[in-house]
Homo-oligomer: A and B are copies of this chain.
Amino acid sequence: MTPDWVKDAVFYQIFPDRFYIGQGPAGQPAPVQSAFEAWEAPPTLRGFKGGNLWGVIEKLDYIKQQGFNALYFCPIFASTANHRYHTSDYFQVDPILGGNEALRCLVEEAHRRDMRVVLDGVFNHCGRAHFAFQHIMENEAASPYLDWFHIYKFPLNAYSKHPNYAAWWNNPELPKFNTANPECREYLLSVAEYWLQYGIDGWRLDVPNEIDDDDFWREFRRRVKARNPEAYIVGEIWDDASRWLQGDQFDAVMNYPLGRAILGFVGADALDKDLAAKSGLGRLESLGAMACHHRLEDLFRRYDWEIVTAQMNIMTSHDTPRIFSILRGQTERVRLAFAMLFTLPGAPTVYYGDEIGMAGGHDPDNRRGMIWDESRWHKSIQQIIQQMSALRRSLPALRRGRYQYLYAQDGHLAFARTLEQSSVVVTINASPEPWRVNIPLHGVWPRGGQAVDLLSGKSGRCAG
């Protein structure tokens, strides 16, 4: 079984350094504001803008108003990188973010608003500033942590281009843990357990496929679920994830394939394929309705339905260009992509700023400071997200209903979401011209029944 709450979740993904600078309590021993890069300046690979968790707390009401009830955070633990994937301390929330106290407060404030909090767990590798790795830097073979990594030779050349130890993508900044070492393994698993004590609702797992050890993830699951049976375990797997979705490892994965199908269909000729290709999205294909349907149906059949309705459905993230830029600023297409995302099984996930149509190219440009000047917001995008989220909230069939194919031709796709006696028909017109909908209903609605267009409120009648 997957956590029930995820089936009702709408995720908002936050890149903490770039969301909002909150004040927090006085006397926090962190760097002062003047030490940070200007909020509006183009992001740099190494610069910090100083967003923090106090800022997220201040904006929780904003987030809720946009229709989100779950937060998925990029890493928040102490790190030497602005994206915080270079973990230096797994037991400390980064001081710049406000430290552990800020997380405790954030979880409390989120839960008070019926919002969930999922953290990013980076267990394959750490930053070279990590305590155990630095221990080996200093003590070499005399370090009792020697076996926590895969060391080939001394002295370690951690600050040159060619690491003499196993590192993620051979990047010396990211030494790979030896998860076969029992103490190292216990250390990582204790991190997973530790933060559950703070009340977090789940772990998004960074590159979990690189820990090529199903037993590791099985134990991870057992220990996480023992502390919180409703905790969500979602892996960053970009393609087929069957190996991890047998019920004994992850609850779900980041469903980029679904996102690619939506973008391919809705984006069609407008797609900036070169831009997308620089990221993990790979080269997007323009898809007709039938091709899109096939991809969706394949995804829905490949995994258990329990998993399908708990997938983290995602189009764009901190790892991809922004949807506004991929769709070349065509607001109508962005609106349609989000509308479609909210009608499919699985939890819709929106990257901060995408809801207001922020532009952003390849990393680090996709990590600009959130725009808080409302005059610069694309309010029509915001509105469709709010509207679709409200629809999803009011119609259980959109969250838990089966996916039923109705019609697919060129830029026209129609399907139903059916739960018990209730069916919602979804029609998507990805073509630039109006579509006078004329589709077979295959019995999802009774002949002569009245139909209401849920977006416009107009009504019609099902033909006999």
**In the docked arrangement, what's the CA distance between A86 and B131, Å?**
12
Taking the nearest CB of chain B, how far is it from the CB of A168, in angstroms? 15
Task: Find out whether the CB atom of A48 lies under 8 angstroms from the CB atom of B143.
Answer: yes
Task: Find out whether the CB atom of B134 lies under 8 angstroms from the CB atom of A27.
Answer: no
Task: Find out whether the CB atom of A50 lies under 8 angstroms from the CB atom of B144.
Answer: yes
Which B residues touch A78, using CB under 8 A? 131
Which of B92, B129, B131 is in CB contact (< 8 Å) with A138?
Answer: B129
Is A285 an interface residue when CB atoms closer than 8 A count as contact? no
Q: Give residues 64-122 of A contacting B (CB, 8 Å).
A: 78, 80-82, 86, 88-89, 91-92, 95-96
Task: Find out whether the CB atom of B80 lies under 8 angstroms from the CB atom of A142.
Answer: no
Which of B30, B138, B173 is in CB contact (< 8 Å) with A80?
Answer: B138
Task: Find out whether the CB atom of B144 lies under 8 angstroms from the CB atom of A29.
Answer: no
Task: Find out whether the CB atom of B48 lies under 8 angstroms from the CB atom of A138.
Answer: no
Task: Find out whether the CB atom of B144 lies under 8 angstroms from the CB atom of A27.
Answer: no
Is A47 an interface residue when CB atoms closer than 8 A count as contact? yes
Residue of chain B at shortest CB distance from A28: B186
**In the docked arrangement, what's the CA distance between A142 and B81, Å?**
10
Of A31-39, A345-353, A451-459, the stretch lying at the interface with chain B is A31-39
Is A435 an interface residue when CB atoms closer than 8 A count as contact? no
Which of B129, B142, B173 is in CB contact (< 8 Å) with A131?
Answer: B129
Task: Find out whether the CB atom of A81 lies under 8 angstroms from the CB atom of B138.
Answer: yes
Taking the nearest CB of chain B, how far is it from the CB of A125, in angstroms? 15
Is A135 an interface residue when CB atoms closer than 8 A count as contact? yes
Task: Find out whether the CB atom of A142 lies under 8 angstroms from the CB atom of B183.
Answer: no
Is A198 an interface residue when CB atoms closer than 8 A count as contact? no
Is A147 an interface residue when CB atoms closer than 8 A count as contact? yes
Task: Find out whether the CB atom of B48 lies under 8 angstroms from the CB atom of A144.
Answer: yes
Task: Find out whether the CB atom of A142 lies under 8 angstroms from the CB atom of B91.
Answer: no
Taking the nearest CB of chain B, how far is it from the CB of A83, in angstroms? 12
**In the docked arrangement, what's the CA distance between A182 and B88, Å?**
24
Taking the nearest CB of chain B, how far is it from the CB of A145, in angstroms? 6
Task: Find out whether the CB atom of A48 lies under 8 angstroms from the CB atom of B129.
Answer: no
Taking the nearest CB of chain B, how far is it from the CB of A415, in angstroms? 48
Residue of chain B at shortest CB distance from A35: B144
Q: Give residues 341-387 of A contacting B (CB, 8 Å).
A: none
Is A340 an interface residue when CB atoms closer than 8 A count as contact? no
Which B residues touch A29, using CB under 8 A? 183, 186-187, 189-190
Taking the nearest CB of chain B, how far is it from the CB of A211, in angstroms? 17
Which B residues touch A46, using CB under 8 A? 138-140, 142-143
Taking the nearest CB of chain B, how far is it from the CB of A131, in angstroms? 5
Task: Find out whether the CB atom of B137 lies under 8 angstroms from the CB atom of A129.
Answer: yes
Q: Known contacts A29-B183, A142-B46; is A89 also within 8 Å of B86 by CB?
A: no
Q: Known contacts A29-B186, A134-B129; is A142 also within 8 Å of B92 by CB?
A: no
Residue of chain B at shortest CB distance from A134: B129
**In the docked arrangement, what's the CA distance between A186 and B27, Å?**
8
Chain A 16-52 near chain B by CB (<8 Å), digits 1 or 0: 0000000000010111100111000000101110100
**In the docked arrangement, what's the CA distance between A142 and B37, Å?**
8
**In the docked arrangement, what's the CA distance between A385 and B29, Å?**
45
Is A146 an interface residue when CB atoms closer than 8 A count as contact? yes
Task: Find out whether the CB atom of B146 lies under 8 angstroms from the CB atom of A35.
Answer: yes
Task: Find out whether the CB atom of A142 lies under 8 angstroms from the CB atom of B48.
Answer: yes
Task: Find out whether the CB atom of A138 lies under 8 angstroms from the CB atom of B186.
Answer: no
Q: List 25 A-B contacts (CB under 8 A).
A: A29-B183, A29-B187, A31-B144, A32-B183, A37-B142, A46-B139, A46-B140, A47-B142, A48-B142, A48-B144, A50-B144, A80-B135, A80-B137, A80-B138, A88-B131, A89-B92, A91-B92, A96-B144, A127-B138, A128-B134, A129-B138, A134-B134, A138-B173, A155-B159, A159-B159
Q: What residues make up the interface of A, taking CB atoms closer than 8 Å to B?
A: 27, 29-32, 35-37, 44, 46-48, 50, 78, 80-82, 86, 88-89, 91-92, 95-96, 127-129, 131, 134-135, 137-140, 142-148, 155, 159, 173, 182-183, 186-187, 189-190
